[in-house]
């Protein structure tokens, strides 16, 4: 026959004591990858019908995604506007040239010139957007 006192001595406590310190309140990684994936914010897909894409030559295709913020200046060749990208929210300058006023050869020469200019006091060429009425040279 076993003694009750002997049984109590040999039994171990299956649960460790609870520590109420702030360090014990941190959650431990569970190792469950599905739980980890659920903890991240969902990324909303970009509507490709409403965006523009830049090709290797720096030409935007698709919808114009620039808002005209304010007129900076105008001249015989076109107007320069402060513009903001609708989705990426960067600010740039855009020289907007009416296609009817200038030949495409003149416009292409100006774009080629902007592409080669590299100076701290000159805006860098970012790309070109073309619609039915005008060409936008974005810097």
Pick out the residues of the known binding site for ATP: 95
pLDDT at 124: 87
User: Phi-psi region for residue 94, left (φ > 0), alpha (ψ -120 to 50) or beta?
Assistant: beta
- Using a cut of 0.85, tell me whether the model's pTM lies above it: no
Number of domains the chain is built from:
1
pLDDT at 81: 93
Domain presence at residue 59: yes
Domain presence at residue 126: yes
Low-confidence ranges of the chain (pLDDT < 70): 1-63, 100-102
CATH of the domain at 56: 3.30.200.20
pLDDT (tens digit, 9 = 90+) per residue, 54-94?
555 656 555 677 888 999 999 887 899 999 988 888 899 99
pLDDT at 135: 84
Q: In 3-state terms, what secondary structure has residue 125?
A: coil
Domain presence at residue 16: no
Pick out the residues of the known binding site: 95
> Over the range 69-100, which residues count as b (16 or more CB within 10 Å of their CB) and which as e?
eeeeeeeeebbbbebeeeeeeeebbbbbbeee
Domain presence at residue 33: no
For residues 90 and 96, what is the distance between their CA atoms, to the nearest angstrom?
18
Give the domain range for residue 65.
52-138
pLDDT at 36: 52
Domain presence at residue 100: yes
């Amino acid at each position: 026959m076993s003694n009750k006192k002997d049984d109590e001595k040999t039994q171990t406590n299956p649960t460790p004591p609870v520590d109420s310190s702030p360090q014990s309140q941190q959650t431990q990684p569970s190792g469950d990858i599905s739980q980890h994936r659920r903890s991240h914010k969902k990324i909303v897909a970009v509507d490709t019908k409403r965006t523009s894409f830049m090709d290797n030559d720096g030409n935007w295709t698709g919808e114009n995604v620039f808002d005209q913020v304010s007129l900076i200046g105008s001249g015989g060749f076109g107007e320069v506007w402060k513009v903001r990208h609708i989705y990426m929210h960067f600010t740039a300058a855009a020289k907007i040239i009416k296609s009817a006023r200038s030949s495409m050869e003149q416009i292409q020469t100006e774009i080629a010139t902007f592409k080669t200019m590299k100076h701290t006091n000159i805006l860098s060429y970012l790309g070109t957007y073309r619609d039915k009425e005008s060409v936008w040279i974005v810097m």
